Structure 1
Amino acid sequence: MSTATPLAGGTPGTAEAPPTRTVPQAPEAPFTERYLLSPDMIADPYGHLDALRAHAPVHWSPMHHAWLVTGYDQVMRCLRDPAVSADRVRPLMDAVPQGAREDAERAFGILSRWMVFNDPPQHRRLRQVFQEAFAARAVARYRAFTEKATRAVLARKAVPGRGGDLMADVAKPLPALVFARWLGVPRTDAAAFWYWNARVADLVLGTAQEESEYRASLQALVSLEDYLAGLVAERRAEPADDLISQVLKEGRVGESVSEEEFVGMLTQMAFAGGETTSNLIANTVLALHSRPGQLAAVREDPGLAQGAVEETLRLDGPSKMSIRTTVRDLDLDGRTLRAGDRIFLVTAAANRDPARFPDPGRFDVRRTGATHLGFGFGAHFCIGAALARLVAVAAVGTLVRDHPGLTLTDPGALTWQPSLLNRSLTALPVRY
């Protein structure tokens, strides 16, 4: 759940206006710039990212109007340095077509309350409200429900001998079930709730391009906030066993954060959880079924399902990068990043840095050692990581154990969603 999200926005296909600037640099060895949203880069960006990291782990890209930071140590420095800001609400708003701007004021007010778009100390104040609810010990309470939901979803969809789309059959509905239960969304409201989430994703991840799409996304965010505000009011009157009730019981809402801030952050939680976890499940299944030896290892030792999920987060996870801005001049790896510059923190490249990971291109469910950045790091480490891991490990472990006949039906024809930020399959055709 990235709020790393899993979960800072970018706008594929729509370049955010960079500040006017001059970038004097020492001459570099020739390097062929590639547009990261070209079809071949969407299909497989890793060879190019490896070459870029080897060429210059901190590289100014005129094509993307941004610094591309691809080295592990350099990404870590940016994630720690207060000169690098996560506030990206204004660039997102600048990408909205002029005709849709009148609908945008309230929606972007909601986004400004997302902790993923805030820097310390504001970020810390907002995050502390959810700290206990997202702790591993609190999330573990949902293990039995998650395992039961996994079995129920697979019983309905993964019928032995039947063909299907694992994305649509399992990877999307399972996190939706678990996250709705965790937030306290009644099943009768689930269809509208997940429709709003999908449209919010179009806005934040940059899938919306036409004015009508922006309008639908902005309205969906407003509708989602209205719905969650009503749910908070219901839980104040009648607490239940869910996230909202737990946080309200702790007494911080109305003290350290306002109720408006709390509801705004709930819209982030609602958006972030399902998208990241769905992609993590599908990418892990794809990774294992593309590597028979690793799949056999997990079948022999089901405990290695956790290792498979972690290795997917490192090697081909649901997040490729996050976008930041410098708030003051910063020296990074001998380069001067000026205040106002845009930075792409390319964790998909940093997680394959040979200076940090031995044999970095190898998928190894038994890998130990350096910490990957699949859920970010430091202050912006994905607060929902424990829940995302719980759901993904349950899904992958059950599929490997209970569906030994599962095969990919057309692995050579897979396609990926066009996004700077997300690594998301459009479908994963399988035979159960």
Structure 2
Amino acid sequence: MTIAPARTERYLLAPDMIADPYDHLDALREDAPVQWSPLHHAWLVTGYDQIMRCLRDRAVSADRVRPLMDAVPQGARDDAERAFGILSRWMVFNDPPQHRRLRQVFQEAFAARAVARYTAFTEKATRAVLTRKAVPGRTGDLMADVAKPLPALVFARWLGIPPTDGPSFWYWNTRVADLVLGTAQEESEYRASLQALVSLEDYLGDLVARRRAAPGDDLISQVLKEGRVGESVSEEEFVGMLTQMAFAGGETTSNLIANTVLALHTRPDQLAAVRADPDLAQGAVEETLRLDGPSKMSIRTAARDLDLDGRTLRAGDRIFLVTAAANRDPARFPDPGRFDVTRTGATHLGFGFGAHFCIGAALARLVAVSAVRTLVCERPGLALAEPDRLAWQPSLLNRSLTALPVHY
């Protein structure tokens, strides 16, 4: 079948697309929810039903370690072998049945009832961060003051990272994010990211040994106690997956907090609704995940030829599952461009779906809702300082502000 290229093609990393991609993504979906992009050398899948089909179809593979490795400059390749071996153990880059085997090790620890144990700690940490950083009357950066340190506190406590190790641990995570999210550009940045991933694995391997000798009240100790490490997964696989947990938790939740605060403070009616009923903070977080969430797309590969919406995708083709477009699909969401904290109905794809649904969703929601509810209800003077001068990180995958200046 002849490939029909996108008729409204734009480079998704162009500055205006980074600032606001949604009109263009809507146009792509309306033109054809599955279309080939010569510019990105990938299929752009923008329709809700079409993405759901891909997320259920084993012909669509999540294994993208090789494309990540191919992006590394030649001069940094000598540092890459071990680092990409670690990435190959991330369950997010594995397909069933391997993915299921790896994920089951963490299933109990991530269950809603297990995460709920951290509610009191999260609320206490939220107020501590706000007391220290969000002092009424001062101006600051909500990203640096609240959105980044709060998830760091909670996730470090959850993983069992001693406070004295925090600075190194979060530095490594930041560098790993540069690699995985595609923001590393120069050879020196790739080298720093690759070395950070190796250092993170070394550190977590040592921490596992310490927790085996002296268990604590944390994720690592809980999983070790269940006895699956060494049986259903190897120790090497377990430590490799911990590097994924360490990377994924803070980045996604930080962006979710900041994006929700921005969404509410640019929509006075929705802000007022949450202040009148603090339980609607949950609805605000869900609407942000749908309308302007931390993830814009995920990348897949066709494991074999498949037909999708009348298009023939060939084995080896790259596929961009543009959830940021699917979450605004009018076929699934009435008045899809409206931010409505009371919205019910179709499930958004902000945390994915099916086998690859984000395993940390419950913990991310817990932290984000606590932060949003406390900021909205206990900081009534909070206001955006420069709403017309916001900048976003250049990334195909994530939606992240560089800063969020506010008056506390």
Q: Which residue of 1 aligns with 2:180?
A: 204
Runs of 4+ displaced beyond 6 Å = none
Q: Which residue of 2 aligns with 1:95?
A: 71
Q: Which digits, 9 at most, give the CA deviation of each residue in 1:130-165, with x for residues without a partner?
A: 000000000000000000000000000111110000
Pairwise CA distance, 1:244: 0.1
Helix, strand or coil at the partner of 1:423? coil
> Do the aligned residues in 1 keep the contact of 2:8 with 2:28 (CA within 8 Å)?
no
Helix, strand or coil at the partner of 1:256? coil
The residue identity in structure 2 corresponding to 1:106 is: R
The residue identity in structure 2 corresponding to 1:204 is: V
Runs of 5+ unmatched residues, structure 2: none
> Which of the numbers 420, 428, 431 marks the counterpart of 2:396?
420
**RMSD across aligned positions (CA):** 0.8
Distance in structure 1 (CA, Å) of the matches to 2:195 and 2:25: 36
Tell me the percent identity: 88
The residue identity in structure 2 corresponding to 1:214 is: Y
Distance in structure 1 (CA, Å) of the matches to 2:77 and 2:258: 36
> Which of the numbers 223, 229, 232 marks the counterpart of 2:208?
232
Helix, strand or coil at the partner of 1:198? helix
Helix, strand or coil at the partner of 2:170? helix
Q: Report matched runs for 1:145-294 at 5 Å.
A: 145-294=121-270
The residue identity in structure 2 corresponding to 1:257 is: V
Q: Which residue of 2 aligns with 1:49?
A: 25
Distance in structure 2 (CA, Å) of the matches to 1:264 and 1:409: 41
Pairwise CA distance, 1:31: 2.3
- The structure with higher relative contact order (CA 8 Å, sep 6+) is 1
Runs of 5+ unmatched residues, structure 1: 1-22
Distance in structure 1 (CA, Å) of the matches to 2:406 and 2:129: 16
Q: Which digits, 9 at most, give the CA deviation of each residue in 1:348-401, with x for residues without a partner?
A: 000000000000000000000000000000000000000000000000000011
1:431 aligned onto 2:401: no
Distance in structure 2 (CA, Å) of the matches to 1:127 and 1:100: 31
Q: Report matched runs for 1:230-379 at 5 Å.
A: 230-379=206-355
The residue identity in structure 2 corresponding to 1:77 is: R
Distance in structure 2 (CA, Å) of the matches to 1:97 and 1:341: 22
Distance in structure 2 (CA, Å) of the matches to 1:301 and 1:25: 51
Distance in structure 1 (CA, Å) of the matches to 2:104 and 2:3: 42
Distance in structure 2 (CA, Å) of the matches to 1:314 and 1:330: 28
Distance in structure 2 (CA, Å) of the matches to 1:101 and 1:42: 29
Pairwise CA distance, 1:32: 2.5
Distance in structure 2 (CA, Å) of the matches to 1:374 and 1:93: 26
Q: TM-score, normalised by structure 2?
A: 0.99
Distance in structure 1 (CA, Å) of the matches to 2:59 and 2:336: 30
1:24 aligned onto 2:24: no
Distance in structure 1 (CA, Å) of the matches to 2:257 and 2:289: 10
The residue identity in structure 2 corresponding to 1:413 is: R
Distance in structure 2 (CA, Å) of the matches to 1:345 and 1:269: 22
The residue identity in structure 1 corresponding to 2:196 is: A
The residue identity in structure 2 corresponding to 1:90 is: R
> Which of the numbers 376, 380, 392 marks the counterpart of 1:404?
380
> Do the aligned residues in 1 keep the contact of 2:3 with 2:36 (CA within 8 Å)?
no
Aligned residue pairs total 408
Q: Report matched runs for 1:34-73 at 5 Å.
A: 34-73=10-49
Q: TM-score, normalised by structure 1?
A: 0.94
1:75 aligned onto 2:51: yes
Pairwise CA distance, 1:230: 0.4
